[in-house]
Structure 1
Amino acid sequence: MISGERQSDTGQWFESREGTRWWFDSGALSLDFAYTGSMGAQPGEPGHGWEQLVNTADLDDWLADRFTVTPSSERDLRDALTLRDALSHATLAAAMGRPLARRDIDVVNLYAATPDLPPRLDGGSRQAGRTRARAAQALATIARDGVAVFSGERAGRIRTCDGEDCALIYLDTSRAGSRRWCSMQRCGNRHKVRQHRARQKAQARS
């Protein structure tokens, strides 16, 4: 994974070992956060060995692309990794149609129950509350997004990319619920190339 200019409210730049760079929009803040790690990827699978949150500076960089918060502490980093593990496990379970583990539900609920980032309306003459929120509040916001993602109708829209060699998971936010690929730039384009080559071979044989 690498950093770069953001293209939307959710999503982040990924880079394969071969150097291919693409924008992966998971469809949800909580899933984006889950993908700061390997998300259960096994050796040889996309994402194995990925780790974006090695230290507090890494956490600060990731949060800064999405929130305005004060620098994180070592405790914030430990909390972030604990929450991320629970979100990752929940994402994998939901994608496979399995019930979420109680321990993961408990962790997400625990962080979601703490104070999150309050909405703000710009242009006022008075400062309400802290000038900059804490990293812990950002984690609470991420956890609350997870609650929304893994409950109700949205839970049924957590899907795995249709790519033959891809296991990336996303929340399908399309109106028709017809999203198939982690990224049209990556797996969607590969599918088109395979179809084109198959048609060429069929025409050559006819």
Structure 2
Amino acid sequence: MAARASGLTLVSHDGSRFFFDPGALCLEFLTTGGPGELARWDVLHQPGDLAAWLAQSQLRLDPAQVTVSADELAAARRLRDALWRFARARVAGQSTPAADLATVNDLAGPAPLVPRLTAGTGADTVHSWALPATGTSALATIARDAVDLFSGPYADRIRECAGYCYLIFVDTSRPGRRRWCAMERCGNRQKVRAIRARQKPTGAD
């Protein structure tokens, strides 16, 4: 199954669908839920849920060829929650909790997914992953992506959506002015609020 550019189609609490591109695999992983108030959006309840998400992610793994154990599911939730705290600390300009650093480093240690090129000519050559795979190798790939992101040139462009929807992304645009998780969601909502605020009477006649 060929890999693709990052981005997921998400469904908001009101049932509307929108495309969210966080710009990094490790930030895509945050859409599976999280610690504290984010637990209500958790979708990783059983091992098969992780395999199903890996199929929807930019990894595009065939869930029938990904084995996930109960221990690997628990590790996935630990990694995701650590990445949430890691990202929020970076957004706030705070130091990263040592325990979360250790979690990311530990899960980045095992062998990651093995990349492959599918035979073709020119633009027909595509990137894919060697299968079957394990939850451990998939998590190692996600954790290593986090290592690259948080230590790389875009580390200071990790941001939280200005629409206060919790979603976190890395701004890879050239001007570096991205503010929203998605323009068709929070960006448009903010535009509507701004228009209503300008139209609101400032006082009685």
Shift of residue 39, structure 1, vs aligned partner = 5.1
CA deviations over 1:57-102 (Å, ceiling 9, x no partner): 1111001222244221112111111211211111111111111111
Shift of residue 19, structure 1, vs aligned partner = 2.4
Contact 2:171 2:177 in 1 (8 A): yes
CA–CA separation in structure 1 for the residues paired with 2:19 and 2:8: 6
CA–CA separation in structure 2 for the residues paired with 1:186 and 1:130: 36
Give me the CA root mean square deviation: 2.6
CA–CA separation in structure 1 for the residues paired with 2:146 and 2:35: 15
CA–CA separation in structure 1 for the residues paired with 2:149 and 2:131: 29
CA–CA separation in structure 1 for the residues paired with 2:200 and 2:33: 40
CA–CA separation in structure 2 for the residues paired with 1:71 and 1:110: 20
Is 2:111 aligned against 1:120? no
Match of 1:30 among 26, 30, 49: 26
- Taking only the aligned residue pairs, the percentage that are identical comes to 46
Shift of residue 131, structure 1, vs aligned partner = 4.1
Q: What are structure 2's unaligned runs of at least 5 residues? A: 121-128
Q: Corresponding residue for 2:52?
A: 61
Contact 1:14 1:23 in 2 (8 A): yes
CA–CA separation in structure 2 for the residues paired with 1:78 and 1:48: 14
Is 2:72 aligned against 1:81? no
Contact 1:148 1:154 in 2 (8 A): no
SS of 1:121 mapped into structure 2: strand
Contact 1:149 1:155 in 2 (8 A): yes
Q: Corresponding residue for 1:5?
A: none
Report the AA paired with residue 166 of structure 1.
Answer: C
Contact 1:12 1:25 in 2 (8 A): yes
Q: What are structure 1's unaligned runs of at least 5 residues? A: 1-7
Report the AA paired with residue 138 of structure 2.
Answer: A
Shift of residue 22, structure 1, vs aligned partner = 2.0
Q: Corresponding residue for 2:174?
A: 175
CA–CA separation in structure 1 for the residues paired with 2:77 and 2:200: 49
Q: Corresponding residue for 1:166?
A: 165
CA–CA separation in structure 1 for the residues paired with 2:94 and 2:139: 25
SS of 1:115 mapped into structure 2: coil
Shift of residue 167, structure 1, vs aligned partner = 3.1
Structure with more strand by fraction: 2
Is 2:11 aligned against 1:15? yes
TM score, norm. by length of structure 1: 0.80
CA–CA separation in structure 1 for the residues paired with 2:167 and 2:149: 16
Instruction: Figure out how many residues of one structure are paired with residues of the other and give that number.
Output: 189
Report the AA paired with residue 132 of structure 1.
Answer: P
CA deviations over 1:168-193 (Å, ceiling 9, x no partner): 22111111111011110111111222
CA–CA separation in structure 1 for the residues paired with 2:180 and 2:130: 41
